[in-house]
Amino acid sequence: MVTVKRFRGRAVLRVLGLAAGLALIAFAADHLGFGRTEVAVITVVGGLLSALAIELPWKGFLFPGDALLVCLCLLTASNRIVLLALGAALVSGSLAISFGRTTLVAAFRNAIASLAAVAIWRLLVPSLDILLDGGRSFRLTGNTFGNWLVTAEAIPALLLASLAFVVGATVTESLLRGRREYAFGEFWFLNAGRNLHHLIFTAVLGSIAAVAYRDTGAVAFVFFTFPVILTRDALKRSLELRASRFQALKALSSSVDARDRYTYDHSNRVSRLATMLAREMGFPESMVELIEGGALLHDIGKLSVDIDILSKPGSLDAEERAVIEQHPLDSAEVVSRVDLLKESTEIVRHHHERPDGRGYPGGLKGHEIPVGARILNVADAFDAMISDRPYRKRKSVEEALDELKRGAGDEFDPVVVEYLTRLVAEKREEIVGSKDS
Ligand SMILES: [Fe+2]
Ligand SMILES: [Fe+2]
């Protein structure tokens, strides 16, 4: 009963957020000097586009709402665009999984990005007097500015202002979502692929819409919504295909684990846990997916290890250890040949490295070890500890966490261990499930 009430409460909050977002967009469009019909179009199209996130099969997302925001920054050159940006953030946040947090991040991100775009645009437009009429409204069509907009000279300005938007958005988002140790450098780097697509999409679409507005008015925004929706549907199909290929990988990984009763379902569990950790640590979905895929086949190299060595109860001699230590290299070799997974190769290759440099196969230290491998390493070790192995009985969850903490810094990445501890405290059932006895 309580759950139902809480669910309804949240739903009401979301509907209110959505309504407030749309109202804010309309209010802002009115104050930016658009006519009544234009306000209506901007509200509907703005609401719709802000609600869409186009998932890309290769990396991350495109946010078509951003293209409209960029376009409006260009058209108005006004800081009042911030209100509209906040409205768009409310709309997108109301539909997101974690309503409060997403809205807050989106609000900051949109506001900073719009202000950055307006600031650069104001610097680059030859004369603001042409653009702004009395500081409140703007008259674009048919004047000198409108004509300037379609000249070659305007292109760099259009693109630079859009670039300012995307950079503003990504920097703010990285700072708010990224976490301490991984925060800036790594986060930014990992986001680079996504930023590039987003940049091109936002800049080009935003600029084209601004130019189209010169001749057709706000109807231009309606036109550019159709290709956006078509693209989204096409990409959704291709993602579904990708998901089915992932299913095939899962089946393959289960057959590797099934070779030996001790590792039954190990790779699937490790993959699930590593994925949760990467998300919790604030990494972008593109990175999460690399870890997920890599984890599924991280031990596939063990297929060439003799089953007697794998299930030997006592300790291993030097030769046997060398055979075992070959497995990350063999796994990496396999992964590098699978198109869907080849970007996970380094994660797989280094999943047995240790921060103190005493791991294998590379003897890499600390941050030399790819962050995905550090995450996979902790997830792998935790799952092994709470499972029975031929040479020892399984540990309790608490014992395993204590052991990880003792090894943090030498054997395991301390930040990942910290996140795992927190994750287990929050989602114990989901992580440990039936093993928790
Ligand atoms: Fe391994
Ligand atoms: Fe493993």
> Of 218, 267, 202, 252, nearest to 76 (Cα)?
218
Query: DSSP code of 389?
Result: B
Task: Quote the ligand 2 centre to 431 CA distance (angstroms).
Answer: 16
Q: Note the ligand closest to the C-alpha atom of 385.
A: 2
| Sequential DSSP letters for 289-341 | HHHHHHHHTTTGGGGGS-HHHHT-SS---HHHHHHHHTHHHHHHHHHHHSTTT
Q: Which ligand is nearest to the CA of 265?
A: 2
From ligand 1's centre to the CA of 282, what distance in Å? 25
Q: What is the pLDDT of residues 28-49, one digit of tens each?
A: 999 888 888 989 999 999 999 9
Task: Give the distance (Å) from ligand 2 centre to CA of residue 266.
Answer: 7
Across 80-98, average pLDDT: 88
pLDDT surpasses 60 at 192: no
Task: Give the pLDDT mean for 169-190.
Answer: 63
Strands (E), 153-286: none
Band the pLDDT of 181: cuts 50, 70, 90: very low
Distance 368 CA to ligand 1 centre (A): 19
pLDDT for the residue numbered 146? 67
pLDDT at 134: 40
Q: Show Cβ contacts of residue 316 under 8 Å, excluding neighbours closer than 6 positions.
A: 309, 324
3-state secondary structure 30-81: HHCCCCHHHHHHHHHHHHHHHHCCEECCCCCEECHHHHHHHHHHHHHCCCCH
- 258-435 has which fold? Hypothetical protein af1432 (1.10.3210)
Look at residue 163 in the predicted model and tell me its pLDDT.
87
pLDDT digits (tens, 9 = 90+) for 353-404: 999 999 999 999 999 999 999 999 999 999 999 988 777 788 999 999 999 9
Cα 376 to middle of ligand 1, angstroms:
9
Has residue 63 got a pLDDT over 60?
yes
pLDDT at residue 108 tops 50 = yes
pLDDT at 436: 61
Give residue 282 CA to ligand 2 midpoint distance, Å: 24
Q: What percent of the chain has pLDDT over 70?
A: 87
Whether the predicted pLDDT of 180 surpasses 70: no
Cα-to-centroid distance, 295 and ligand 2 (Å): 8
CA–CA gap between residue 361 and residue 358 (Å, rounded): 9
Report how far ligand 1's centroid is from the alpha carbon of 403 (Å).
Answer: 18
pLDDT of residue 434: 64
301: CA distance to ligand 1 center in Å?
A: 8
Nearest-ligand number for the alpha carbon of 263: 2
Residue 188 — very low, low, confident or very high, per pLDDT cuts 50/70/90?
A: low
What separation in Å is there between the alpha carbon of 263 and the centre of ligand 2? 8
Say how many Å lie between the CA of residue 188 and the centre of ligand 1: 29
Interval between CA 327 and ligand 2 midpoint (Å): 10
Q: 59 C-alpha vs ligand 2 centroid, how far in Å?
A: 26
Token pair, residue 309, equals: 């060595």
- Give the closest ligand to the alpha carbon of residue 329: 1
Q: What is the pLDDT of residues 311-368, one digit of tens each?
A: 887 788 889 999 999 999 999 999 999 888 899 999 999 999 999 999 999 999 999 9
Question: Looking at residues 144-164, what average pLDDT do you find?
Answer: 81
Residue carrying structure tokens 């380094």: 346
- Please give the pLDDT value at position 83: 94
Domain boundaries, the chain: 2-236, 258-435
pLDDT tens digits along 223-281: 888 888 888 888 888 888 878 888 888 888 888 888 776 777 899 999 999 999 998 88
Residues 127-141 have pLDDT tens digits of: 655 554 444 445 444
Question: Considering the chain, what is the average pLDDT of its residues?
Answer: 84
**Ligand 2 centroid vs 286 CA: distance in angstroms?**
22
Query: To which residue do tokens 């010169």 refer?
Result: 214
C-alpha of residue 130 to centroid of ligand 1, in Å:
65
